[in-house]
Chain A
Amino acid sequence: MSGLQLQDLTKRFGSVNAVDGVNLSVPHGTFVCLLGPSGCGKTTLLRMIAGLEDPTAGAIVLDGKDMTGVPTHQRDFGMVFQSLALFPHLNVGENIAYPLRIRGVDKAEQKKRVDELLNLVRLPGLADRPVAKLSGGQRQRVAIARALALRPKLFLLDEPLSALDAKLREAMQVELRQLQQSLGITTIVVTHDQREAMTMADLVVVMGEGRIRQAASPIQVYRKPSDAFVADFIGMTNLLPLKGNGDLLGTNFPSLGMAVGSAGGHLSIRPEDVRLVAPEQGTLTGTVTFVRDLGGTIETFVDVQGVSIVSVTTPRERTPFVAGDAVGVRLPVESCVVLKG
């Protein structure tokens, strides 16, 4: 089988299961984002794939070959660390050439490959620059170039963009995605930023408490979250308590009751899908508590039976509501996701 398989991968620290029975199949050339809150086990999972942590149980298989017991330095995986881990005693060119030097590649070949990589990460001619004299974004690129120097089979990145400011981070996300596509390399990025995951990934793996909560394409994770945890973590959402008999904030919807089952659960709807209308036209009615006009979008907070519902619209379809207004809330059925539990 081609690609990367994680089979029942588990890591225990004392009595804590940092990673708990993870199964995942990543086809060759896929861009995967491991997404989750801090402490969810995503970094531990990445470090196990890199060989920096030994799994307590389970296997890591790449292209049909079991890599579980292979030492890190024989795995041929490129990795970018959160701290970047550039060697302070070497300049840019020497940092990038380090893996080549270890493999005994001859000097001329090393120089050629370094120039090639510096062009790839758009830092041509910086080979002789000391690492300390680089900006944050440049260090980032050097770390990426160094990790790619050996044409690795797997490209791993641990929160690579977290040290950059917001603007640069967004630009680097696009660049990283384009780089991955041009190289066609299987890539796994750990991040806690769902925007970053949505920008770059083919496959978003949402993790919580050491387990995979959902692994799907970004748009599917966004539109069809598998549970309340995923819905809440990915983007802004309205999680409305739904009783087993179909009671949603005082109004009964028998069809929803059937979908959620007798134990009840939540109805998840994205703020941009919530329609605010005149009180008599809505399926639910409530009171506007706050309006946040951000210029590009307007967020309206509506209190319905003590639960706050957020609606996001653009100024073009602006609704002239102000705090204190009574409004009707419409929840289009095709945008609602019923979540058990």
Chain B
Amino acid sequence: MRREPPRSLADYAPLAFPAIMLLVFFVIPFSTMIAVSFFRRDPAGFYSRDFIFDNYERFLSAFFGGVLGFSIMLAVIVAVVCVIIAFPFTWLLAQASRRVQIVWLVVILSILSLSEVIIGFAWTTLFSRTAGITNIFVWMGLMSEAQALSPNFGAVLTGMVYQALPYTVLVLYPAIVRLDPTLMEAARTLGSSPLRAFFNVVVPAMRSTIVATLIMVFVFALGSYLLPQMLGRPQHWTLSVLITDQAIYQSNMPFAAAMAVFLVLMSLAFVGLTLLVGARKGGEA
């Protein structure tokens, strides 16, 4: 298909709708939030118009720095674990027959229909001492007595990986299905065992897809605020939890806005860094 550059104003018309949507649902709310982050908190009411840096200053403490660090670390681990599990899974799925693929994709899509709250409660039950999976381990003779597996870091991680995994598979699937199957066969005729060929042909050939998926899952996990509360201890709470706390329970909108802006900036920086590293490696290869 030949694409011609738009010439008249009318040629830009199809852009109007997405542009308006973006303006109304992203640019305006985000600008409002940035503005609010410089406002002064009014303990009696809500906030009053001002231009102060107090909210940002308050954020620059060891406590909030630690929470920010933990949030980013958690999101990174979730992204890495998801891709490590989802990539081989999706690749094997792509080799399967059409019927098997459809069944799996339907199952994965149905997980997406579960709300975060339901996922949280389900895992709380599964990790509990009285009704949890450890009872099965006891029954199998693997453990001597049932114990609670939450709240702790492992529980938070499991819940978040469970929640993000369907997205990861669905993002990887189209790219992996399109990968030329003869690449793998060629590697085998050239002396690579199937496992080796997977790591030195399939994974490198999909590198940009993997980087894009890591970023997507990272951003997705960064916004999670229910699961850390349900499955973790306070030290496992992410910045999103604190933002919710400030905005809803403490009614400190300016401070919540400042934290949100900071989180956006940090994640943008992180995504930029990942792309930079990815691009440099791409240049070498």
Within 8 A of A (CB), among B187-244: 187-194, 196-197, 200-201, 204-205, 207
In the complex, identify which listed stretch (B29-37, B117-125, B178-186) lies at the interface while the others stay far away: B178-186
Contacts of A82 in B (CB 8 A): 182
A73-B191 in contact (CB<8A) = yes
Q: A133 in the interface, Cβ–Cβ < 8 Å?
A: no
Q: A55 in the interface, Cβ–Cβ < 8 Å?
A: no
Contacts of B207 in A (CB 8 A): 89
Contact-residue bracket for chain B: 20 to 34
A81-B285 in contact (CB<8A) = no
Interface string of A80-91 (1 = CB under 8 A from B): 011101011111
- Of A75, A87, A90, A156, most buried by chain B (CB within 10 Å of CB) is A87
Contacts of A85 in B (CB 8 A): 180, 182-183, 185-186
A81-B205 in contact (CB<8A) = no
Contacts of A79 in B (CB 8 A): 185-186, 189
Q: Which of B180, B191, B194, B285 contacts A99 (CB 8 A)?
A: B191
Name A87's closest neighbour in chain B (CB-CB). B201
**A72 vs B193: C-alpha distance when bound (angstroms):** 8
What's the least CB distance linking B176 to chain A, in Å?
14
**A72 vs B187: C-alpha distance when bound (angstroms):** 10
Majority secondary structure, B binding face: helix
Q: A219 in the interface, Cβ–Cβ < 8 Å?
A: no
Contacts of A74 in B (CB 8 A): 191
Q: Which of A89, A90, A103, A147 contacts B189 (CB 8 A)?
A: A147
**A91 vs B185: C-alpha distance when bound (angstroms):** 19
Q: Which of B182, B187, B190 contacts A150 (CB 8 A)?
A: B190
B189-A73 in contact (CB<8A) = yes
B186-A102 in contact (CB<8A) = no
Q: A200 in the interface, Cβ–Cβ < 8 Å?
A: no
B190-A89 in contact (CB<8A) = no
Name A156's closest neighbour in chain B (CB-CB). B189
What's the least CB distance linking A178 to chain B, in Å?
23
Within 8 A of B (CB), among A146-191: 146-147, 149-150, 156
Q: A69 in the interface, Cβ–Cβ < 8 Å?
A: no
**A235 vs B180: C-alpha distance when bound (angstroms):** 34
Contacts of A89 in B (CB 8 A): 204-205, 207, 285
Q: Which of B183, B186, B193 contacts A71 (CB 8 A)?
A: B193
**A303 vs B200: C-alpha distance when bound (angstroms):** 63
In the complex with contacts A85-B183, A85-B185, A102-B196 CB distance below 8 A: yes
A52-B190 in contact (CB<8A) = no
- Of A51, A73, A156, most buried by chain B (CB within 10 Å of CB) is A73
A87-B191 in contact (CB<8A) = no
Q: Which of A52, A78, A88, A156 contacts B205 (CB 8 A)?
A: A88
Contacts of A256 in B (CB 8 A): none
Name A79's closest neighbour in chain B (CB-CB). B189
What's the least CB distance linking A149 to chain B, in Å?
8
- Of A74, A78, A81, most buried by chain B (CB within 10 Å of CB) is A81
A73-B183 in contact (CB<8A) = no
A81-B185 in contact (CB<8A) = yes
In the complex with contacts A83-B182, A85-B182, A90-B285, A103-B205 CB distance below 8 A: no
Q: A290 in the interface, Cβ–Cβ < 8 Å?
A: no
A77-B201 in contact (CB<8A) = no
Contacts of A81 in B (CB 8 A): 182, 185-186
B189-A83 in contact (CB<8A) = no
B204-A77 in contact (CB<8A) = no
**A150 vs B193: C-alpha distance when bound (angstroms):** 16
Q: A50 in the interface, Cβ–Cβ < 8 Å?
A: yes
Q: A229 in the interface, Cβ–Cβ < 8 Å?
A: no
B188-A87 in contact (CB<8A) = no
B192-A102 in contact (CB<8A) = yes
What's the least CB distance linking B259 to chain A, in Å?
40
What's the least CB distance linking B95 to chain A, in Å?
13
A50-B191 in contact (CB<8A) = no
What's the least CB distance linking A159 to chain B, in Å?
12
Name A75's closest neighbour in chain B (CB-CB). B189
**A72 vs B192: C-alpha distance when bound (angstroms):** 9
Name A90's closest neighbour in chain B (CB-CB). B285
- Of B185, B188, B190, B196, most buried by chain A (CB within 10 Å of CB) is B190
B190-A102 in contact (CB<8A) = yes
**A207 vs B186: C-alpha distance when bound (angstroms):** 25
In the complex with contacts A89-B204, A89-B207, A89-B285, A98-B182 CB distance below 8 A: no
Contacts of A149 in B (CB 8 A): 190
In the complex with contacts A81-B185, A85-B182, A73-B205 CB distance below 8 A: no
Q: List 28 A-B contacts (CB under 8 A).
A: A51-B189, A52-B185, A52-B188, A71-B193, A72-B189, A73-B197, A74-B191, A75-B189, A76-B191, A78-B189, A79-B186, A79-B189, A81-B182, A83-B180, A83-B182, A85-B180, A85-B183, A85-B186, A87-B183, A87-B204, A88-B205, A90-B285, A98-B190, A99-B191, A102-B191, A147-B190, A150-B191, A156-B189
The 7 closest A-B pairs by CB, nearest first: A85-B186, A99-B190, A85-B182, A79-B189, A72-B188, A89-B204, A102-B191
Q: Identify 6 new A-B residue pairs, CB closer than 8 A, beyond the known A73-B190, A102-B191, A146-B190.
A: A72-B189, A85-B182, A98-B190, A102-B190, A102-B192, A156-B189
